[in-house]
Amino acid sequence: MNILNFFLIFFDKKKNKRVFKNFTSLIFHNISLTVIQILFPLLMIGVYGLENFGIWIFLTAIPTTLTILNFNINDAARVEMSINFNQNNENKTNEIFNNSVILTFIFVIFIILITALIISFYDFDLNILKDLNEKEINIIMFCIFLSFYLDLFNSIFKTGITFWGRNDVATYIDTFFDLFTKLLIVVSGFLFNELFFAAVALLTAAIFKIITFYFFFINYNKYLTLFSFKLISKKEILKLFKLSIPYYFTNISGVIKHSSQIIILGIFFNSQIVGSVSTLKTLFYFMPSRLFGIFFRTISYEFIKLYAEKKFSLLKEMYFNYLKLGLIFLSIFCFISIIAGEYIYNLWLNNSYKVDFLILILIIFDVIFFIMAESVISVSRSLNKFFKVSFFQIMINLIIILISCLFFYFQKSYYFLFIFNLTGSILIMFYSIHFTKKFMKKNLI
């Protein structure tokens, strides 16, 4: 399998229907996300006004921050279920699923209790909410939080739909409801022009979404049962909890590297720098990461399937071709970004910010080494065997935050943060290579 043939499996419907369907669904999903990111803020501001749009962003951000408490058991469970499914172990697959359901309920209840404590003891008498009365705030927050909880439960049904390799169904459901939710919120603004109705629209869409996921779960899952308590095992629960830790570390690393760094820049510098850095990262960090993530999300199940079937030679061949595809993608991205990045950025934002070319270059190479590191561990990540890399990653990002704060305190230059980020990504990449060499020798022989 050469690199051209490997690349073509994403587009050849006859050769591999599953890969083709998963890949095209992710392409469509990312296109729709891009359209939503561009149009939704403009429509919200147009129908609700700039002030209400800011309030909406603030209120919807509150439950989103609570995801830091969610271990997201279902990612780890889906991999274990996929391995056992491809080994024709139906009972074990069902056992893993039911234990993941129990753990998901435990974490959701935990998050609900934390939410109740925050709402009970925190006074929301904030300047940003001065135009809303207490009753309006309570109803809006109830709708937003309930929508958030329902979406957490959706992960159960997604696992049941996707563990056997068909990701396209869940992806299309997510895509449809992303569009439907935003459209319903905007239409509510045209009709009523009040955030209360926007919150009701959000909750309405969330209810229809979980009903839809349940319907497809009943019709698409392979032999799974919900709440089969005889399959609940303390040993399996502890195993799933341990397997979910690297996913948790990875998510926290992202929060530290991106959200926390924006806050620190806001503390030590000004809103212009914060806005400039945030938009540069959106275009030159998050977008290429998300685009290449399409390939990983498509191919990860193929790694699992080949591993379960013990076809290690074919797995290695597919892995090395995947790495070559990554190098081609990053080379094209690097060339376009350096040559035309500044022009594209200014065209996008109508010259709202002056581009610091050094920061642009540092961000470009930061994401290049980040994607390279992620590509190197793609097989071990697909198989739930990347704890050491995730721990190393979170330690590096914590150190970067601490050192940057010290440098900002004594030296007013934000260049240090991006130099440290690039250095950290390079270190993570080299550690990933070292880790993967040992992993390959141990597991794929």
pLDDT tens for each residue of 206-224? 999 999 999 999 987 767 8
Q: What is the pLDDT of residue 11?
A: 55
H or E element that contains 123: none
> Between 258 and 176, whose confidence is greater?
176
Q: What is the largest CA-CA distance in the chain?
A: 65
User: Exposed/middle/buried for 328, CB within 10 Å: 0-12, 13-18, 19+?
Assistant: exposed
- With bands split at pLDDT 50, 70 and 90, how would you rate the model's confidence at 12? low
List Cα–Cα distances, 53 to 38, 130, 229, in angstroms. Answer: 15, 14, 45
Q: How far apart are CA 72 and CA 60, in angstroms?
A: 20
Q: What is the pLDDT of residue 197?
A: 93
- With bands split at pLDDT 50, 70 and 90, how would you rate the model's confidence at 33? confident
Q: How far apart are CA 147 and CA 168, in angstroms?
A: 23
Over 90: is that where the pLDDT of 188 sits?
yes
Q: What is the pLDDT of residue 131?
A: 76
Average pLDDT over residues 237-261: 89
Q: Which long-range contacts (CB under 8 A, 24 or more apart) does 401-410 make?
A: 401/256, 401/260, 401/261, 401/264, 404/261, 404/264, 405/264, 408/264, 408/268, 409/268
Dihedral in degrees, nearest 10, Cα atoms 358, 359, 360, 364: 100
210's CB contacts (< 8 A; 6+ apart) are 150, 151, 153, 154, 157
**pTM for the full model?**
0.85
pLDDT tens for each residue of 385-430? 999 999 999 999 999 999 998 888 887 788 999 999 999 999 999 9
Q: How far apart are CA 337 and CA 316, in angstroms?
A: 31
User: pLDDT averaged over the chain?
Assistant: 88
Average pLDDT over residues 114-124: 75
H or E element that contains 227: none
Q: What is the pLDDT of residue 3?
A: 61
